[in-house]
């Protein structure tokens, strides 16, 4: 059994967890604080849960009000309202909501209600999976992906499409990256498809909060798909458009550097670090995505050929732009470009075509930050040094320097 509990009171959460442990020890209880985490996403149907338990009330919120809204979502999981008010029954029961008084949590009625909710959800799942509508909802482009509900397409790429879906197994909204075709020539997959599969292998090996979480990989005769963490807060590119404070810019830069430290330690170079590949979580933390162009030292054969140029010209190091050998310091150069863009609100180099940009990254001097950020310039000078040997030795060293700058900002020294 898997349950989602909407509750602010940690003591009440502990009581319910203890009650479940004495009844069915294998029950998984996922707790969501309605005050800190807010309302459930409008597309979410809790299909991966046997029931959703709602506290009767919390600071500034009402379980009954939530129950009314959630019960109106077609296909939403059974709702159990834990209310201390008898009057709630008159409004909750017509909605199909189970009602349990707070004091009944310690009694048999609570577990009886949960068993009934589980039975209802099990039947609803079986009907949905075998229905025409249910099968259609599990189609993502031309791929049928069992256990995932299609919500909408987020983006279209040259090789794959990105969809928003709900995972029954993960019990959450997820992003599904679906490759449209599997091209096989002479018994081998083409490079674009191999890069797609490499991304899964890389991310599964790197355990870091600064890396996107992957849930699943699937392959059929004609399609492959990655199921990954969904970021409703969007990416760093969108946040930069609205403007970022120097504190937030340094905070994000430190987090990116620490994520790069974990990646490089695993023998991987990202090679396409840019604001669009830095995702934001609701708690303000970041996660790097898109390892399809990464270079993995653990692979017997890299998926790109020597001398070929991959990446985004605005964020490429000079050596990467010229197809020369690179190491982790190339990713640090890309971090420097992002840091400059966050603070100056413009890219360090501008040109009419990619080759002109590549030339400027190698030949033009390191750009100057606005005067207000002058104390950060020495760090930027090292990140954007033309020669890798003049940059920080590794991502950990860069993170330490950025952390020092952030401390100076927090105590009001030099940067406003």
- Residue 79: predicted pLDDT: 97
Angle, in degrees to the nearest 10, between helices 395-410 and 246-265: 160
Bridge partners for 226 per DSSP: 177, 217
- Residue 205: predicted pLDDT: 85
Q: Do the beta carbons of residue 211 and residue 287 sit within 8 Å?
A: yes
Rounded Cα distance, 30 and 2, in Å: 8
The whole model's pTM is what? 0.86
Q: Do the beta carbons of residue 260 and residue 328 sit within 8 Å?
A: yes
* CATH code of the domain made up of 139-229: 3.30.200.20
Q: Do the beta carbons of residue 117 and residue 4 sit within 8 Å?
A: no
- Residue 200: predicted pLDDT: 82
Q: In 295-321, which positions are buried (b, 16+ CB within 10 angstroms) versus exposed (e)? A: bbeeeeeebbeeeeebbbbbbbbbbbb
Bridge partners for 240 per DSSP: none
CATH number of 2-130, picked from 3.40.1190.10, 3.40.50.2300, 3.40.50.300, 3.40.50.960: 3.40.50.2300
Sign of CA dihedral 391, 392, 394, 398: negative
- Residue 310: predicted pLDDT: 59
Q: Of the candidates 21, 15, 17, which has an alpha carbon nearest to the alpha carbon of residue 30?
A: 17
- Residue 305: predicted pLDDT: 44
Rounded Cα distance, 16 and 67, in Å: 19
Rounded Cα distance, 403 and 253, in Å: 9
- Residue 303: predicted pLDDT: 40
Q: Of the candidates 339, 306, 316, 326, which has an alpha carbon nearest to the alpha carbon of residue 388?
A: 326
Domain boundaries, the chain: 2-130, 139-229, 236-410
Low-confidence stretches of the chain (pLDDT < 50) are 186-187, 299-307
Q: Catalytic residue numbers?
A: 272
Q: Does domain 236-410 have CATH number 3.40.50.1820?
A: no
């Amino acid at each position: 059994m898997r349950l989602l509990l909407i509750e602010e009171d940690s003591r009440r959460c502990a009581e319910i967890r203890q009650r479940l442990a004495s009844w069915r020890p294998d029950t998984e209880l996922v707790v969501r604080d309605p005050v800190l985490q807010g309302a459930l996403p409008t597309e979410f149907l809790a299909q991966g849960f046997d029931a959703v338990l709602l506290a009767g009330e919390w600071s500034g919120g009402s379980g009954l009000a939530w129950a009314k809204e959630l019960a109106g979502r077609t296909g939403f999981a059974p709702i159990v309202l834990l209310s201390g008010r008898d009057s709630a029954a008159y409004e909750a029961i017509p909605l199909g909501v189970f009602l349990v008084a707070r004091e009944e949590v310690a009694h048999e009625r609570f577990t009886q209600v949960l068993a009934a909710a589980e039975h209802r959800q099990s039947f609803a799942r079986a009907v949905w999976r075998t229905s025409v509508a249910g099968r259609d909802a599990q189609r993502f482009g031309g791929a049928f992906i069992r256990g995932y509900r299609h919500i909408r397409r987020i983006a279209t790429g040259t090789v794959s499409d990105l969809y928003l879906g709900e995972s029954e197994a993960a019990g959450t909204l997820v992003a599904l990256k679906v490759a449209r075709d599997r091209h096989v020539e002479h018994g081998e997959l083409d490079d674009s498809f191999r890069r797609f599969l490499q991304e899964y292998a890389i991310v599964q090996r790197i355990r870091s909060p600064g890396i996107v979480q992957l849930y699943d990989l699937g392959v059929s005769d004609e399609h492959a798909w990655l199921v990954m963490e969904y970021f409703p807060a969007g990416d760093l590119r969108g946040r930069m458009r609205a403007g970022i404070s120097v504190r937030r810019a340094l905070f994000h830069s430190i987090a990116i550097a620490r994520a790069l430290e974990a990646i490089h330690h695993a023998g991987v170079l990202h090679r396409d670090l840019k604001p669009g590949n830095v995702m934001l979580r609701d708690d303000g933390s970041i996660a790097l995505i898109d390892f399809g162009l990464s270079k993995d030292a653990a692979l017997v054969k890299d998926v790109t050929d020597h001398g070929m140029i991959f990446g985004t010209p605005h964020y490429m190091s000079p050596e990467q732009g010229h197809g020369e050998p690179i190491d982790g310091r190339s990713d640090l150069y890309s971090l420097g470009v992002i840091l400059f863009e966050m603070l100056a609100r413009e890219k360090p180099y501008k040109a009419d075509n990619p080759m002109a940009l590549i030339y400027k990254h190698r030949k033009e001097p390191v750009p100057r930050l606005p005067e207000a950020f002058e104390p950060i310039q020495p760090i930027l000078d090292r990140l954007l040094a033309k020669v890798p040997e003049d940059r920080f030795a590794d991502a950990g060293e860069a993170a330490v320097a950025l952390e020092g700058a952030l401390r100076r900002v927090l105590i009001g020294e030099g940067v406003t």
